[in-house]
Structure formats: structure tokens, C-alpha cells
Structure 1
Amino acid sequence: MPLYVMLSTSFKTADEIRAGNLLSLPAQLDLHAWSKAWSSACTGSTCDGMRGYFWNSVSFVVPSVLISTLMGAFNGYVLTMWRFRGSDTLFGLLMIGCFIPFQVVLLPMARTLGALGIASTTGGLIFVHVVYGLAFTTLFFRNYYVTIPDELVKAAKIDGAGFFLIFRRITLPLSVPIFVVSVIWQFTQVWNDFLFGVVFSSGERQPITVALNNLVNTSTGVKEYDVDMAAAIIAALPTLFVYVVAGKYFVRGLTAGAVKG
């Protein structure tokens, strides 16, 4: 119902919206709100268009998701197949990392970005999301890899396969379900993030969630609910598309790593 209201409102004229019938269908499809939402998102007193902020989000979401997923896969493999001293403690600390609120890491992360010289840059935002997402992806892959039969790994070792060869030729090909889970989870978290985006980016480098907030909270006269609804749908389309296309694989991946055997 909320999605229906958003869609119908985005296609209505201002007069139809002021009529007050929230659930009525638009008399005709008016694309003016969509065009204005795409081209008039505001940051402070500057309006440059949501289009630029949309591609800003794409530019850091894609590398953030890929890097954190690949690193999580390798971490999960190490913690599962290589039982070194302190591995259980390390895994416990990573699990604790899943429960650390965003707000707690703002100050230390800001200092780290400043020391690295990547504050308020796309690279800095990628770094933030990779670090924060690493605990989740490692947890996903570690819990999945414990379901891989030990005999499979032992047979590879007997055939002369080394640590990295087993990971590349055996473990990774078996990881497609959990890769899908990790990608969907990370994509949703990073794309929908507002706090990191507003704190660790500025100006034209800000993500679409910040642009949406600025658009909705910028008033230059009559409130344009049709534009706000169109902008909200534009911001939500990528995650909606991902879940529609790969949602069933998300459930399969979660259940595949639920039990061993």
C-alpha cells in the first residue's frame, strides 16, 4: 500500500494531490515530477540533480560490495580451514563487530580517514563501508564454509593442492549461494546508508540518500509531494531491483549455510 501511494502520488498533478484523495488513481500520467526529481535535488542552496548523486552512489557501492565480499570470503576460508592459535577469539571479535552501532565508529573513522588523507573522498567512503561490512561478510562465509565436507578438502590436499589453490579451485566455486547473500546484504546496507554518506562525504560527492534528504527538506514555496515521492522511488529502485531479481537466491543462500551435512 505505501508503494502504491508513492507511485500514484508521483504521477498526480498538484491539484489532484491537494484534493486529498490519497488512494485515488491519477487522472492522467504526469511525468513532470519524475523529471524534476531527477534533475533538481538540492544540497544547501545548490540544486544539481539527483542524476549525479545516483551515479555517486553507484561509484562507491559497487567497489565496496565487491571488495568486502571477496575479503569476507577469504577471511571465512581462513577461519574455517586454518585453525591457528587465537582463531576462535578473532572470530568472536568479528561477531562483536556486527553489533557495533554506526555512531560509535564515526570519530575514530574520521581520524583514520584524515590520517590517510582520504577524508571527504569517494575512496574514503569505500574504505568506511568495506571496514564496517567486513564483519558481516566474514560471518556469512565462515558459517557457510563449515558445511563443506572435510573429505573434499583432504582429497585436494592428497592430490597436492595447496592452501590458496584449494580456495581458488574448490571453495570459491562452491560459494555462489553465499556470494549472492553477501552481495544483496552489502548492496542494500551500503546503498541505503545515510549516516556515513552525510558524515564522510561532502558537496558533489554525496550519495543519493543525502540528496533525497536535502530535496525533501528543501522548501521553496508549495510542498511538492509528487516530486518527493518520485525521488524516493528513484532512490529505492536499485535495491528493489536486486531483491526482485535475486531474492529467491538470497533465501537459498541463507538456508544452505544453516546446517552442516
Structure 2
Amino acid sequence: MSLGRMVIYALLALVAIYYLIPLYVMLTTSFKTLDEVRAGNLLAIPVSPTTAAWAKAWGSACTGVRCDGLAPFFWNSVYMAVPAVLISTMIGSLNGYVLSHWRFRGSEIVFTALMVGCFIPFQVVILPMARMLGAVEMANTTTGLVIVHVIYGIAFTTLFFRNYYISVPDELVRAARIDGAGFFMIYRKIIFPLSLPIFMVCFIWQFTQIWNDFLFGVVFGGSDAQPITVALNNLVNTSTGVKEYNVNMAAAIIAALPTLLIYLVAGKYFVRGLTAGAVKG
């Protein structure tokens, strides 16, 4: 192995260690007792590993005035993220299909308007979203949060799908039209079977954005509909009692596990979708 390659590998290893140290500290601290956390070193391995902090973070930690742990908020996030991801991805797929192969007068204006939506800060849409949810009586509900994330996510999913479907030859779609295939037949028989990589890109992107969102959750989620990010913030910032760092670390890992698992399971499709044109054009 050449000296240059060895230097590159060494630098990559150092960078990887630098980024993994916080995760290592979180994991080891979450398996320590509180006395060991106070008396020991951050980088020390637990002397007597215990899952008590994990059990408390999940089932009995206080998140403000409630002391039932992260469990109800975790399921709130699941009930919010899963339908929002599926709906916004399917709408984006159909939008991308239309804007790439069924162009109409003004389609470029529509696409440009959708792209503008990608760059609108969250803070700008809070007031109109709040007024809309109040008008349809969905404020402070999980359904309202689903609607918010679907609306905000459509611009991104449309961009991804449109730029991916551009790579599908127009001749293939025209030939299907000549053979009598209609809009949905072409989509189902030609476009959809080619779309697994870009679907994975959108699933991962949307799930990560929605699961990790805090602003929409704290603004639009009522006491019974708040996602896990809001609960985690409340747990960590609870000012009464002893600061339980092991419970806080366990709670942070619980909140991050779903997105980590998504990347581990579908990461190769994410890379394939990006290299196939998901963010090009």
C-alpha cells in the first residue's frame, strides 16, 4: 500500500473516531448507574452495566408534568411519520411523473412554484398553517401534524421524482401511449417498477425530516399529540429533582434509533437513488 493511501485511510479513521466518540459516550453512559456517572470518567466502560436508565426513559421518566416516559410520544411520532411519509411520497411520485412525461401549458411555472416551496423556512409557514388547521378543526392533533408534514414535504418529493423520471426515455412513454396505455397504466407498468431507488430516497429523506422535526411538533402538537422530539426536550430540560444523565442519554438514543435503523436497512438504495438522478437536473 502506498504512503498516500495510508495517509488517506488514517485521516478517514481519525474523522470516523471523532464523529463516533459522542455516540460511544451516549451508549456507555446510558448503561451506567447515576453514581458511576458522577464518580467515573466519560470515556470509561460501565463497571456494572444496567438497563435501568433505558427502562426509566421509556416508561417512567418525567417529561414536564407527565411521568410516563417516552413511550406514548414515540408512538405519536410513529402515527405521524408513517402516513405522512407514505402520502407525501406517493403524491410526489405522481407529480414528478406528470411534470416529466405529461407536460402541459404552465407546467414549468407549477414546477418552479413547487421548488420555491423547498426554500421557504419553517417559521414563515407557521401562522398560515395554524390558521388553516384551526379552520378545519385539526389543531393540536396527530392528523393535523400529518397534514402539515405532507404539505411541506410535497415540494421535496416532487423535485426528487421529477429529476429521476426525466431519465426515463420519452420514447418509451410515447410507445405505450400508441399501444393504448393511459396515464395510470403507463405509471403502473413502466414508471413504478423503475422507481424503487427513488422511493427509498424519499422514504429516508421524509422520515428523517418528519421524525426529527421539533418546531412543527411543539407548535401544532397538543399535549396528547406531541412527537418524541418535544418529549425528549422536556425530559432533558426538566428542572426538578436530580439530573439523571444516564436516563437522558438513553432517551436520546431511543429517539434516534428509528432513523438509524432506516438508514441501515435502506442506505444502499438511498445512494443508488442519488446517483441515478434524484437530486440532479
TM-score class, shorter-chain normalisation, is over 0.9
What is the distance in 2 between the residues matched to 1:258 and 1:231? 34
The structure, 1 or 2, with the larger RCO (C-alpha pairs under 8 Å, 6+ apart) is: 1
Tell me the residue number matched to 1:115.
Answer: 135
CA drift at 1:165:
1.2
- TM-score relative to the length of structure 2: 0.90
What is the distance in 2 between the residues matched to 1:131 and 1:40? 35
What is the distance in 2 between the residues matched to 1:158 and 1:30? 67
What is the distance in 1 between the residues matched to 2:226 and 2:25? 28
Give the secondary structure class of the aligned counterpart of 1:48. coil
Q: 1:193 aligns with which of 203, 208, 213?
A: 213
CA drift at 1:202:
1.2
Which stretch shifts more, 235-244 or 82-91?
82-91
Tell me the residue number matched to 1:252.
Answer: 272
Which stretch shifts more, 246-255 or 224-233?
246-255
Q: Does 1:7 align with 2:27?
A: yes
Tell me the residue number matched to 2:15.
Answer: none
Aligned-residue sequence identity (percent) comes to: 72
CA drift at 1:226:
0.1
What is the distance in 1 between the residues matched to 2:168 and 2:253? 41
Tell me the residue number matched to 2:48.
Answer: 28
Tell me the residue number matched to 1:211.
Answer: 231
Give the secondary structure class of the aligned counterpart of 1:73. helix
What is the distance in 2 between the residues matched to 1:150 and 1:10? 55
Report matched runs for 1:171-182 at 5 Å: 171-182=191-202
Contact 1:41–1:211 (CA under 8 A) maintained in structure 2: no
RMSD in angstroms over aligned alpha carbons?
1.3
Change over 3 Å in CA distance of 1:107–1:52 after alignment to 2: same
Change over 3 Å in CA distance of 1:34–1:110 after alignment to 2: same
Change over 3 Å in CA distance of 1:147–1:47 after alignment to 2: same
Tell me the residue number matched to 1:52.
Answer: 72
Tell me the residue number matched to 2:112.
Answer: 92
Contact 1:147–1:259 (CA under 8 A) maintained in structure 2: no
CA drift at 1:76:
0.5
Tell me the residue number matched to 1:76.
Answer: 96
Q: Deviations over 1:99-149 (max 9, x none)?
A: 111111000000000111111111100000000000000000000000001
Q: Which runs of 5+ in 1 are unaligned?
A: none
Contact 1:41–1:214 (CA under 8 A) maintained in structure 2: no
Contact 1:43–1:203 (CA under 8 A) maintained in structure 2: no
CA drift at 1:221:
2.0
Q: 2:240 aligns with which of 217, 220, 234?
A: 220
What is the distance in 2 between the residues matched to 1:135 and 1:180? 17
Contact 2:32–2:49 (CA under 8 A) maintained in structure 1: yes
CA drift at 1:258:
5.7
Which stretch shifts more, 177-186 or 76-85?
76-85
* Deviating 4+ runs (over 6 angstroms): none
What is the distance in 2 between the residues matched to 1:155 and 1:45? 63
Give the secondary structure class of the aligned counterpart of 2:195. helix
Q: Does 1:144 align with 2:168?
A: no
What is the distance in 2 between the residues matched to 1:259 and 1:109? 28
What is the distance in 2 between the residues matched to 1:127 and 1:11? 38
- TM-score relative to the length of structure 1: 0.96
Contact 2:61–2:70 (CA under 8 A) maintained in structure 1: yes
Contact 1:72–1:135 (CA under 8 A) maintained in structure 2: yes
Tell me the residue number matched to 2:82.
Answer: 62
Q: 1:235 aligns with which of 233, 252, 255?
A: 255
Q: Deviations over 1:67-111 (max 9, x none)?
A: 000000000011111221111111111111111111110000000
Q: Deviations over 1:44-88 (max 9, x none)?
A: 322222111111110110000000000000000111112211111
Contact 2:63–2:69 (CA under 8 A) maintained in structure 1: no
